[in-house]
């Protein structure tokens, strides 16, 4: 198998360093090892995480369970057919998963927001009224 089949592949200093790191202890003909490396870089991702990270076989990403917002590491294994499950959201980085939970998980009641913000006369506060309307809309869905 010649390397001419991958004309679109461009070696960079980072890719060369990765190749040396990952393949220096492997036995075989250098050209074949390079071809294996190039093949691994030309694969299409199995899916893309919520934070736009491409995920391939044997990659580890972070799964957030939709029912309770718990974060767990998740290793993708095609051989186990455990690619993606609808009960999870997937992230490439743990800190992105935590940040997403902080911003998207329902955490506070309107009473807590009113107390935290020390909103005086909440019936007259336009921002609090907007929060109430958004909450009502969500309840009616």
Please state the φ and ψ torsions of residue 74, each to the nearest 5 degrees: -135, 120
Residue-wise pLDDT for 51-108, tens only, equals 999 888 888 999 999 999 999 999 888 766 666 678 999 999 999 999 999 888 887 7
CA distance 106 to 67: 12
Answer yes or no: pTM beyond 0.85.
no
Q: How far apart are the first and last CA of the chain?
A: 57
Residue-wise pLDDT for 27-46, tens only, equals 888 888 888 888 777 778 88
Tell me whether residue 36 is exposed, middle or buried, using C-beta atoms within 10 angstroms of its C-beta: 0 to 12, 13 to 18, 19 or more. Answer: middle
pLDDT at 79: 65
CA distance 70 to 68: 6
CB atoms within 10 A of CB 33: 16
């Amino acid at each position: 198998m010649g390397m001419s089949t991958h004309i679109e592949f461009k070696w960079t200093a980072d890719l060369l360093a990765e190749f040396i790191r990952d393949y220096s202890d492997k036995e075989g003909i250098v050209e074949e090892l390079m071809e294996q490396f190039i093949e691994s870089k030309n694969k299409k991702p199995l899916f893309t995480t919520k934070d736009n990270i491409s995920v391939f076989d044997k990659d580890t990403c972070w799964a957030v369970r939709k029912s309770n917002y718990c974060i767990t590491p998740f290793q993708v294994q095609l051989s186990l057919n455990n690619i993606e499950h609808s009960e999870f959201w997937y992230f490439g980085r743990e800190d992105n998963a935590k940040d997403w939970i902080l911003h998207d998980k329902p955490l506070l009641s309107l009473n807590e927001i009113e107390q935290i913000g020390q909103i005086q006369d909440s019936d007259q506060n336009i921002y609090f009224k907007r929060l109430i309307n958004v909450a009502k809309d969500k309840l009616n869905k």
